[in-house]
Structure 1
Amino acid sequence: MSEVRLQKYLAECGIASRRACEQIIREGRVRVNGLPAELGQQISPDNDRIAVDGKPVNTDNKIYIVLNKPPNVITTMNDTHGRKSVTDLLNGVASRVFPVGRLDRDVEGVLLLTNDGELAYRLMHPKFQVKKTYLAWVKGHMKPSTAIRLEKGVHLDDGLTAPANVVILNAGLEVTLIKLTLHEGRKHEVKRMCAAVGHPVETLHRIAFATVQAKGLRPGEWRYLSSGEIKRLQQCVGM
């Protein structure tokens, strides 16, 4: 195998996403042939000995999981405050996996987890514009003109949001159900967008990440992705 950048190799081995691997290297937790590693260092997977936190790094079989995340579960893999995390739901998964992006604690629905750092990196990178679809129950009666505002973009404190697709599914007097598809990954973006147009989110459910859905999975259940689902994810990010 030819030489590769250390952070890319660590991501491919399932240590973490590429960005997280860069931070691990900066923290001095990685050694190459017994010596402290440097960010951007070229390594030979066939000849060099790589260790993270003193443990040898090996290329594991890639694992791809979709979890139907329930509310009141945090997305981080380890929580120092003793809160329930997605790790507690992955019974039977022997290899270490990590979430592709995050869902807020109160948000439920589709969450991808994998040890394929390169795919995770691409799925989260803005340039690939990977679509995420949500059902949002928002306060008040939303008019079609308001949905159009959401579609065209809303001014938030960190700038104008990208164009989205918004469909009003049920507009009641007190609560409106909308389906919203967007490709950005800003923090709390759906909640902030809806609040900005006067319709704060009451309940938020992600129903799709790219082409992956969690149909048939009850809250807290997970399954491995099919080969077809994996291939479609790879295709949408140029792999």
Structure 2
Amino acid sequence: MEERLQKYMAQCGVASRRKCEEIILEGKVKVNGVVVKELGTKIDPEKDTVEFNDKIIKIEEKKVYIMLNKPEGYITSAKDEKGRKTVLDIVNIDERIYPIGRLDYDSSGLLLLTNDGSIYNNIIHPRVAIKKKYIAECRGKFTESDLKKFKSGIDIGGYVTAEAEIDVISEEKSFNSRKNSNEIISTVEISIHEGKNRQIRKMCASLNHEVISLKRVSIGNIKLGYLKKGQWRNLTSEELNYIKSL
């Protein structure tokens, strides 16, 4: 039975279907020894040979679904051209996996990884609008006006964010050595369903609240819980069923 090349590549664990489309357009894929650059290409997995970077790829027999508590200082990617550490340096397993979505280099928290391209869009696709919850430590006190702006949408440079949720958890005084004075550090819980690059940091910055630390604690019903930084585990059957039901 024939299927689209990018779908087959995703099932083989190369990358998400969208990323596989980019790889095809870059001329990195061969079908039966011939470079293919057309996204409409269909293949028969039982008859055709597919190569990525001159290596034959096949569907992974074992599907892997992993939750990682990503530490700061790691790139959410399979490789980094600058030689920085990636999340795959932490989750070192035999299967070729890739992250679902991303977390900034300076951020920590819940990240999902898999070799099952079929579930990628269940979390990433805009139609799903799955809620992602973060805990942020920010400089300054959030006023009622700040909270209203945050909830109704903020211009973060050519893009106005959708409605978001924000709740102040605590406010504490802290000594700022750069300014040689005390300041308020606010801890806030933020929920968004978009995934623009550095979105929360930009939203807070637009209100003059620099983000000191940012941690993602849940994606929909999947919660980070007590998993420590740098640790990972397989998703439970309940968590996996939830993702597949989206």
TM-score (norm 2): 0.90
**Letter matched to residue 186 of structure 2:** T
Alignment of 1:137-216 (within 5 A): 137-172=137-172, 174-216=184-226
The residue number in structure 1 matching 2:177 is none
* Conserved 8 A contact 2:122-2:243: no
* Conserved 8 A contact 2:29-2:35: yes
Q: Secondary structure at the match of 1:159?
A: coil
Amino-acid identity (%): 38
1:118 CA drift (Å) = 2.5
The residue number in structure 2 matching 1:105 is 105
The structure whose Rg is larger is 2
The residue number in structure 1 matching 2:33 is 34
The residue number in structure 2 matching 1:88 is 89
In the alignment, structure 1 segments of 5+ residues that lack a partner are none
Q: Secondary structure at the match of 2:223?
A: coil
How far apart are the structure 2 equivalents of 1:226 and 1:138? Answer: 33
* Conserved 8 A contact 1:141-1:172: no
Runs of 4 or more consecutive aligned structure 1 residues displaced over 3 Å after TM superposition: none
How far apart are the structure 2 equivalents of 1:205 and 1:82? Answer: 24
The residue number in structure 2 matching 1:6 is 5
In the alignment, structure 2 segments of 5+ residues that lack a partner are 174-183
Q: Secondary structure at the match of 2:137?
A: strand
**Letter matched to residue 67 of structure 1:** L
1:216 CA drift (Å) = 2.6
Please identify, of 140-149 and 21-30, the stretch whose mean Cα deviation from structure 2 is larger: 140-149
The residue number in structure 2 matching 1:71 is 72
In structure 2, relative to structure 1, the CA distance for the partners of 1:159 and 1:81 (3 Å cut) is closer
TM-score (norm 1): 0.92
Q: Secondary structure at the match of 1:151?
A: helix
How far apart are the structure 2 equivalents of 1:14 and 1:158? Answer: 35
Q: Secondary structure at the match of 2:68?
A: strand
The residue number in structure 1 matching 2:229 is 219
* Conserved 8 A contact 1:5-1:43: yes
1:143 CA drift (Å) = 2.2
Q: Secondary structure at the match of 1:203?
A: strand
The residue number in structure 1 matching 2:43 is 43
Please identify, of 126-135 and 177-186, the stretch whose mean Cα deviation from structure 2 is larger: 126-135
**Letter matched to residue 227 of structure 2:** L
How far apart are the structure 2 equivalents of 1:43 and 1:84? Answer: 35
The residue number in structure 2 matching 1:124 is 124
How far apart are the structure 2 equivalents of 1:79 and 1:63? Answer: 22
Please identify, of 125-134 and 107-116, the stretch whose mean Cα deviation from structure 2 is larger: 125-134
* Conserved 8 A contact 2:72-2:106: yes
Please identify, of 136-145 and 106-115, the stretch whose mean Cα deviation from structure 2 is larger: 136-145
Please identify, of 42-51 and 98-107, the stretch whose mean Cα deviation from structure 2 is larger: 42-51
